C-alpha cells in the first residue's frame, strides 16, 4: 500500500459505529489519518438518523479521520474524495468503476446502492487542535447481499453488492488497501485551490445524477428539476421550474429520480 497518511489502521471485530469511534478519538486529539475498520457494527449510521445494515464479516465498514483546511462551503469535498477513492478501489478490484449518485452513494449498474458515505464534522473542536475534524465513513457492500433473497423487505430492490454486480468474491483487505492508496493523493489535493477543483471535476465526471430529472427533498420543501452540474464546491446544480438552484449536500433529506 502506498500511503503515508493512513498508517494507523485500527481493526475491530465489533463496534457500534466506526464513525462514532473516530469522532470520539478526534475529540481526544487523534491526528488526521487514523482509520477504523469493523467486521460488524451494531449501530451503523446512515445520514440524518438513518441506519446502515451489514451482517458480520461480509462487507467493508471503514471510517477515516481527516482534518482538512476547508471553508465550510467546501466541506462536502471531504466526502466526495472518499466516494471517488472507493469507486477507484472497486474499479481496481473488479474492472468495473461504479458511478456516484450525488451526494454520497456508489451505484451498481441498475441504479441500486452499492455503497454509502457518511461525513460527520465536529465543529465544536478546540482551535488549538487544528481544523475541525471530519470523519468520513463508508459502507461498501462486498459479499452481502449475495442475492436478492438476502435482503430484508425494506432494502428489496434497492441494494446491491460487488458480489451481486460482478459475481466476484473480492477480498476486503485488498479493497481497503486500494481505497486508502487512492485516497492519499485525493486528500492531498484538498489543500490547494487547483487540487480542489480537480477533485470536484473528477466527481462531476463520475456523477451519474447529471442529466437526470430529480426530486430534491429538503427539510421544509421539495422541488423538481434536471441535475445539470456539480459546482467546484461539490454542490449539485439543478435547473428547476423556478430557475437554477445550487443544492448543498447537508441540506438534502432525499434526492430521487422524479416522477
Give the residues lining the site for ligand BT5 (CB under 6 A): 17-19, 41, 44-48, 50, 52-54, 61-63, 104-105, 113, 116-118, 137-139, 141, 155, 159
Measured from each CB, the residue nearest to ligand BT5 is 116
For ligand BT5, the closer of residues 191 and 250 by Cβ is 250
Long-range contacts (CB closer than 8 Å, 24 or more residues apart) made by 237-241: 238/214
Reading the block at residue 68, the C-alpha cell is 482538512
| Residue 19 or 212 with smaller CB distance to ligand BT5 | 19
As measured in angstroms, the least distance from the Cβ of 36 to ligand BT5 is 8
Report the nearest approach of ligand BT5 to the CB of residue 73 (Å).
Answer: 21
User: Which residue's CB is nearer to ligand BT5, number 21 or number 68?
Assistant: 21
Question: What minimum distance in Å lies between the beta carbon of 66 and ligand BT5?
Answer: 14
Report, in Å, the least distance between residue 112 CB and ligand BT5.
8
Which lies closer to ligand BT5 via its Cβ, residue 195 or residue 218? 218
Amino acid at each position: 500500500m502506498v500511503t503515508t497518511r493512513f498508517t494507523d489502521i485500527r481493526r475491530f471485530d465489533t463496534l457500534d459505529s466506526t464513525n462514532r469511534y473516530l469522532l470520539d478519538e478526534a475529540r481526544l486529539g487523534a491526528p488526521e489519518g487514523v482509520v477504523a475498520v469493523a467486521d460488524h457494527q451494531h449501530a451503523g449510521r446512515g445520514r440524518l438518523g438513518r441506519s446502515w445494515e451489514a451482517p458480520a464479516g461480509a462487507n467493508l465498514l471503514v471510517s477515516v479521520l481527516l482534518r482538512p483546511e476547508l471553508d465550510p462551503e467546501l466541506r462536502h469535498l471531504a466526502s466526495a474524495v472518499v466516494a471517488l477513492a472507493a469507486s477507484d478501489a472497486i474499479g481496481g478490484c473488479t474492472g468495473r468503476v461504479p458511478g456516484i449518485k450525488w451526494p454520497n452513494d456508489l451505484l451498481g449498474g441498475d441504479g441500486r446502492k452499492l455503497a454509502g458515505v457518511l461525513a460527520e464534522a465536529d465543529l465544536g473542536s478546540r482551535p488549538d487542535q487544528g481544523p475541525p475534524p471530519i470523519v468520513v465513513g463508508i459502507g461498501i457492500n462486498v459479499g452481502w447481499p449475495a442475492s436478492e433473497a438476502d435482503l430484508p423487505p425494506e432494502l428489496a430492490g434497492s441494494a446491491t453488492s460487488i458480489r451481486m454486480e460482478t459475481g466476484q468474491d473480492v477480498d476486503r483487505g485488498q479493497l481497503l488497501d486500494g481505497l486508502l492508496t487512492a485516497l492519499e493523493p485525493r486528500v492531498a489535493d484538498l489543500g490547494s485551490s487547483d487540487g480542489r477543483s480537480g477533485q470536484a471535476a473528477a466527481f462531476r465526471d463520475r456523477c451519474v445524477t447529471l442529466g437526470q430529472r430529480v426530486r430534491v427533498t429538503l427539510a421544509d420543501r421539495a422541488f423538481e428539476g434536471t441535475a445539470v452540474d456539480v459546482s467546484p464546491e461539490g454542490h449539485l446544480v439543478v435547473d428547476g421550474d423556478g430557475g437554477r438552484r445550487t443544492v448543498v449536500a447537508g441540506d438534502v433529506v432525499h434526492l430521487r429520480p422524479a416522477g
